[in-house]
Amino acid sequence: MPQQPTRNPQHARRRARRSAMQALYQWQVSKLNLKDIEEQFLVDQDMSKVDLEYFHELLHQIPARLDEIDKALQEFVDRPINEIDPVERAILRIGAFELEHRPDIPYRVVLGESVQLAKQFGALDGHKYVNGVLDKIAQQSRRIEIQAGA
């Protein structure tokens, strides 16, 4: 009997981040209900290879902790949060959330994934901005991990 191909959990999580970034962008711009946005994604998008639990966590936990996340970001950005490009704002919020609340995800992975999203969806040099801001947050929130050379 042929074996089912094993799903790569890193790829499924990467897809969850991408979908969450798009859904958070939609939420920021439209102010629609999160449950409606999530349902729309589950119906209209191919979510078969997405880590759905992680997508749900990002989509609901980031808005639930928005004040805390934006406060962490505000320390390192050069303008008010709401003046940052909405795509990059969504990416920064995901990265800040992961750095602050998901210590199981190495900081280098958080930075790398955030930069990739910014390169793919953000403005021309937006990835440099995203990297710079998230690196500063990582220096603060992941100091021990960074010093350990992880």
Average pLDDT (112-126) is: 95
What are the CA-CA distances from residue 11 to residues 80, 82, 87, 146 (Å)? 33, 30, 21, 24
What are the CA-CA distances from residue 76 to residues 1, 69, 104, 131 (Å)? 55, 12, 23, 11
Average pLDDT (19-45) is: 94
Provide the pLDDT confidence category of residue 4 given band limits of 50, 70 and 90: very low
Provide the pLDDT confidence category of residue 6 given band limits of 50, 70 and 90: very low
Q: What percent of the chain has pLDDT over 70?
A: 95
* Per-residue pLDDT tens digits for 61-113: 999 999 999 999 999 999 999 999 999 999 999 999 999 999 999 999 999 99
Q: Is domain 9-147 given the CATH code 3.40.980.10 in the classification? A: no
Provide the pLDDT confidence category of residue 147 given band limits of 50, 70 and 90: confident
Domain edges within the chain: 9-147
